[in-house]
Amino acid sequence: MFYPEEEDMAVQKIIIAIDGYSSCGKSTTAKHVAANLGYGYIDTGAMYRAVTLYFLEHSITFTNPKEVEKALQNIVISFHHNSKTNENETFLNGVNVEKEIRKMYISDQVSEVSAIAEVRHDMVAQQQKMGKRKGIVMDGRDIGTRVFPEAELKIFMTADLNLRAYRRQQELLAKKQMVNLEEIINNLLHRDHIDTTRKESPLVQAEDSFLIDTSYMTVDEQVEMVVNLAQTRMLSNAVLD
């Protein structure tokens, strides 16, 4: 069997799918993993939040398929890198909505919007198109089960509910949003219920995914674990090729 040189093996690009519950560290970990590997990062949660914002601003009835389908035809979501913050920012129809989509009123509605079949079909199609060239890290709820079931590396993240709520509260405080911890816990429970029980692409752990409980892990530890798994998978793929 021919074994390629280590330098050649390192360039074998894969798709890394990170799924899990809200506020488990998926997005933070995914961003750092992407930066570490020189991969692109796609925040699918931001896409659903942007759709939610559009629906609320245009008074779209969530239960009216015709209204939903018409609205989706007018939604263009893109990500642009901010050189000052070194972060990707979400744009909705050319407008930067990164700060707005992180507010609690969006969090309160995003799971309902995400559960709409027409919305998921539209977003999944866009996400699959984004990942055709591989070399990406994508996080969400159904990346390893629906969007990229063929992803070379699948991660499923979970964490203690109270710790998730505390982390979410700290994130909001950093953005100068004061929200009661109990309100956040109730929001997470509500979102968990909808995410795991919806008919369209529910949140479930893929059989071939790695389970990571981030309750008592630092971000650096989470990133290191995923990067190590990714590098192992890339080398394995290169040898098989």
Helices marked H in the chain: 6-9, 26-37, 44-57, 65-72, 104-114, 117-130, 161-174, 181-197, 219-240
Query: Encoding tokens for residue 168?
Result: 């979410």
CATH numbers and ranges of domains, the chain: 15-226 (3.40.50.300)
- The answer to whether 76 and 50 are in contact (CB under 8 A) is no
Q: Which residue has the higher pLDDT, 167 or 133?
A: 167
pTM of the complete model: 0.84
Q: Average of pLDDT values for 65-70?
A: 97
Q: Average of pLDDT values for 54-66?
A: 97
Q: Average of pLDDT values for 183-210?
A: 95
**Mutual angle of helices 117-130 and 44-57, in 10-degree steps:** 140
Percent of the chain topping pLDDT 90 = 83
**Mutual angle of helices 181-197 and 161-174, in 10-degree steps:** 120
Q: Name the band, by pLDDT with cuts 50, 70 and 90, for residue 160.
A: very high
Per-residue pLDDT at 113 exceeds 90? yes
Collapsed DSSP state (helix, strand, coil) of residue 176: coil
Percent of the chain topping pLDDT 70 = 94
What local confidence, expressed as pLDDT, does residue 236 receive? 80
Q: Average of pLDDT values for 182-186?
A: 96
Q: Average of pLDDT values for 52-59?
A: 98
Distance in angstroms (rounded) separating the CA atoms of residues 165 and 170: 9
